[in-house]
Structure 1
Amino acid sequence: MDRTVSTAALAGNAPAADLSMWALFLQADWVVKSVMLMLVLASFWSWAIIFEKLIKIRRTIRETDQFEHDFWSGGSLDTLYDRLNQLGPQHPMAVLFVAAMREWRRSTERGLVRGKQGLGSLQVRISQVMRVSIDREMDRLERYLGFLASVGSVAPFVGLFGTVWGIMNSFHSIAASKNTSLAVVAPGIAEALFATALGLLAAIPAVMAYNKFSNDLGRLNIRLEGFAGEFQALMSRQLDEEAA
């Protein structure tokens, strides 16, 4: 009886390797596990920021549209200011308007608007107040966007580091076992490539969201700058009419 057994027969009787995501994580080296956990946490945090920013920016744009409609509808600016000041401004353009109107009222109540020098000083103060308000509000809206940018640029390289480390461990295992069959090589290579996949999974949504939010906030900043210029011109005309 022939007792020789072919390599193909041995390979056929060998148990199939478990290549599920959970099994790949459990079988990975501790360094690769650390990389995977880091990327998963970064991905979850990125998605939390994405949903929060998506809701906030949409609400801000909707409220800005409503405010501009109310502002240019021809109603009293004092009435609009009193209403917003009582409720508390909820979006950047309202904050901008309330800050400028508050400075105007304080200056007129204290009698600082006298002569051309007083008018010019008031216009400078209003311009400075609006500039500071724009910068503060945009900084508030841009919070955590830097994290999305960092995840988008760093996550693929972190995943690649995990892949390189995993492949190195696979080669060491192959050298130690002196077996180069696919059943031995495949699990280690799959573990290593899984780290790269997680890096891309974290980076791609972060980059896309960062680009979208940056464009949306850039357009909003242009709207705020335009409103500030128009409001300053409106107040300047009114001050000139009162001084005439």
Structure 2
Amino acid sequence: MSPVALFLQADIVVKAVMIGLLLASIWTWAIIVAQWVKMRRVARENERFERDFWKSDDIDRFYEARGKEDFPSAKVLSAGIAEWRRSTSGRSVDREGTRSRLAVALNAAVAAEVDSASDRLNILATVGSVAPFVGLFGTVWGIMRSFTDIAAEQSTNLAVVAPGIAEALFATAIGLFAAIPAVIAYNRMTHGINKMEARLARFADGFHGTLSRELELEA
């Protein structure tokens, strides 16, 4: 009745279900670890970048020094600076149009970074919702096999039906083993991404306000 014995004694269909669920579990944990490390690093770098930015007295000089760094706050800053330079490069500047285009560019950059951060969370959601039903399919198949064994042996002795039932329940257990971490990680990471989105939106709004004041000074 060990897990290995239950797998080896299982029907080919139940074995396929178990293997699929184990692979899904491994894939889920790989995503969880990678995303957790990535989100911690991004949160730390965003905080450091924004703190240094608001301490800076010269936006252009700060952008030249730090604007090419590869994390969300830097990319939002880069999108804003690029739009600012395009909109103010002519002889006459449409102030309201510039403000509107800056808001669009900054909001698009925030949305792009959020989409990038949540790219693989759909896999966790899929595993969390589908794995229990795949395990249930293995359970149903194993119970059907048990009833077949009862008919073949013409006996309801526990020794006849126990292996099939045990295999069936083991498939359900593997399904839950894959689904539960996926659901918990999905919820926690979604919360983390929502916090990141709110932080980026605040940074974008503050940066937009700074550039708007620059337009007023140039009036």
TM range (shorter): over 0.9
Q: Is 2:200 the partner of 1:224?
A: yes
Mapped to 2, the partners of 1:75 and 1:22 lie a distance apart of 65
Counterpart residue number, 1:163: 139
Quote the Cα distance in structure 2 between the aligned partners of 1:192 and 1:231.
Answer: 58
Unaligned runs of 5+ in 1: 1-18
Query: What is the CA deviation profile of residues 136-180 of structure 1, one whole-angstrom value per residue up to 9, with x for unaligned ones?
Result: 111111011011011111111110110011011011101211232
**Cα deviation code 1:9-51 (max 9, x no counterpart):** xxxxxxxxxx111111121111111111111111111111101
Equivalent residue letter for 1:41? L
180, 203, 213: which is aligned to 2:179? 203
Q: Which moved more, 1:47-56 or 1:74-83?
A: 74-83
Number of residue equivalences: 219
Partner residue, 2:109: 133
1:191 and 2:167 correspond: yes
Report the counterpart of residue 150 of structure 1 in structure 2.
Answer: 126
Please tell me whether residue 72 in structure 1 is matched to residue 76 in structure 2: no
Bigger shift: 74-83 or 158-167?
74-83
Task: Quote how far apart the aligned CAs of 1:181 are.
Answer: 2.2
Match of 2:90 among 97, 111, 122: 111
Q: Contact (CA 8 Å) 1:89, 1:98: kept in 2 or not?
A: no
In the alignment, the residues of structure 1 paired with residue 92 and residue 159 of structure 2 have an alpha-carbon distance, to the nearest angstrom, of 86
Q: Name the SS for the 1:90 alignment partner.
A: coil
Q: Which amino acid aligns with 2:2?
A: S
Q: Distance in 2 between matches of 1:103 and 1:224?
A: 17
Residue of structure 1 aligned with 2:24, choices 42, 46, 51: 42
- Does structure 2 conserve the Cα–Cα contact (< 8 Å) formed by 1:96 and 1:130? yes
* Helix, strand or coil at the partner of 1:75: coil
CA shift digits 1:169-214 (9 cap, x unpaired): 0111012112322222221111110000000000000000000000
Paired residue for 1:101? 81
Q: Given that residues 56 and 62 in structure 2 are in contact (C-alpha distance below 8 angstroms), is that contact kept between their aligned partners in structure 1?
A: no
- Of residues 60, 63, 67, the one that matches 1:81 is 63
TM-score (norm 2): 0.95
Identity of aligned residues (%): 51
CA distance in 2 between counterparts of 1:175 and 1:112 reads 91
User: Does structure 2 retain, via aligned residues, the 8 Å contact 1:84–1:98?
Assistant: no
Q: TM-score, normalised by structure 1?
A: 0.86
Misfit runs of 4+, over 6 Å: none
1:177 aligns with 2:156: no
Gaps of 5+ in 2: none
| Paired residue type of 1:94 | A
Find the aligned partners of 1:236 and 1:210 in 2 and give their Cα distance: 38
Larger radius of gyration: 1
Q: CA deviation at 1:72?
A: 1.4
